[in-house]
Amino acid sequence: MPACEWYIDSAEFLIVKTVDCGESLERYEVKAIRVGMEYGPAISVYWNARLNEFCELNYYVVVLRSEHRTVVINTGLPDDFSVFEDFVRSWHPDCRIHRTDEEQTLAALTRAGVDPARVETVILTPLTIYTTGQLKLFSKAQFAVSRTGWIDFWAPAPHAPRLPPDIAIARESRSHLAGDAIDRIRLLDAEDTVCPGIDVFHTGGHHASSMAVRVATARGTVILGDCFFTYDNLEKNIPIGWHENLHEIHTAYARIRAEADIAVPLYDPEVLNRFPAGIIAAKEART
């Protein structure tokens, strides 16, 4: 059986990983579940374009399931997200955040047959209120976050772009991480393996805590990320407007296009059109 191989391509990426491990590679089902939405300025999605328009973005929890484990990407908004709604409305009075009762994280996961108490790992990308709002549900999970992003939150460099603390990590979630979950925080390196069949690489661009999550599935390699809000960003090479580092954006887009069989933006409503019921990869590849 061929071994996994690593090589360096300084012209494009710092490190690229290719895997040819045959049937030993653990494969996952991938399902995106909507847990809220944002209505905001289109310029935050399309850099220097659509200046007078608004658009909708979805918030997703993504469930990754294999025969051996369940991993979740992001946890949704906190029970009370009024501080975030005020923050969004400060951009423009027409901006808003919305979540139905059915989109509450616990209700949504329950309908998908997922018990949060049995989730092994929660990957958080980026660190922000709509990803960290429901950490309390995952009583046994490791919380896997970017080491770069974690340091940036707690000890940012002078003049670094920074969200208000209550917008970056919900206040109750900060308390949870510093209390019951303090021994379950896992800091991920720029290139890291979360578990067999799931790895991450640092993208930055959107936030210092932004990562791409690469998942082995029966349909090939699925890469999910927050550095591209929509398919347009990646497919038309349009940087997101809400970026902290434009160079990182372009590097991440090139790498994701090169490595992904299926790329999934973590905010695009189009995900549910391309993948009915949010099923991005089932147990067996669909023909």
Q: What is the mean pLDDT of residues 75-87?
A: 96
Residue 130, both tokens: 């709509």
Quick check: is 18 in a domain?
A: no
DSSP for 161-221, written as a single string: ----HHHHS-HHHHHHHHTTTGGGEEEE-SEEEEETTEEEEE--SS-TT-EEEEEEETTEE
Residue 18 has pLDDT above 50, yes or no: no
Provide the edge-to-edge strand list for the sheet that holds 211-217: 191-195, 198-202, 211-217, 220-225, 262-265
Q: Could you tell me the pLDDT band of residue 7, with boundaries at 50, 70 and 90?
A: very low
pLDDT by residue (tens digit) across 248-271?
999 999 999 999 999 999 999 999
Q: Give the SS3 label for residue 137.
A: helix
Quick check: is 151 in a domain?
A: yes
Q: What is the mean pLDDT of residues 7-36?
A: 65
Instruction: Report pLDDT for 3.
Output: 42
Alpha carbon 27 to chain centroid, angstroms: 19
Quick check: is 112 in a domain?
A: yes
Residue 133 has pLDDT above 80, yes or no: yes
The one-letter amino acid code at 191 reads E
Q: What is the mean pLDDT of residues 80-92?
A: 94
CATH no. for residue 275?
3.60.15.10
Lowest mean pLDDT among 125-134, 166-175, 271-280: 166-175
Domain count, the chain: 1
pLDDT by residue (tens digit) across 109-118?
999 999 999 9
Q: What is the mean pLDDT of residues 12-30?
A: 61
Residue 16 has pLDDT above 60, yes or no: no
Quick check: is 14 in a domain?
A: no
Lowest mean pLDDT among 1-5, 86-90, 268-272: 1-5
Quick check: is 51 in a domain?
A: yes
Give the domain extent around 52: 24-281
Quick check: is 93 in a domain?
A: yes
pTM comes to 0.89
Question: What gap in Å lies between CA 260 and CA 271, rounded to an integer?
Answer: 15
Average pLDDT over all residues of the chain: 90
Instruction: Report pLDDT for 24.
Output: 61
Instruction: Report pLDDT for 284.
Output: 64
Quick check: is 13 in a domain?
A: no
Quick check: is 61 in a domain?
A: yes
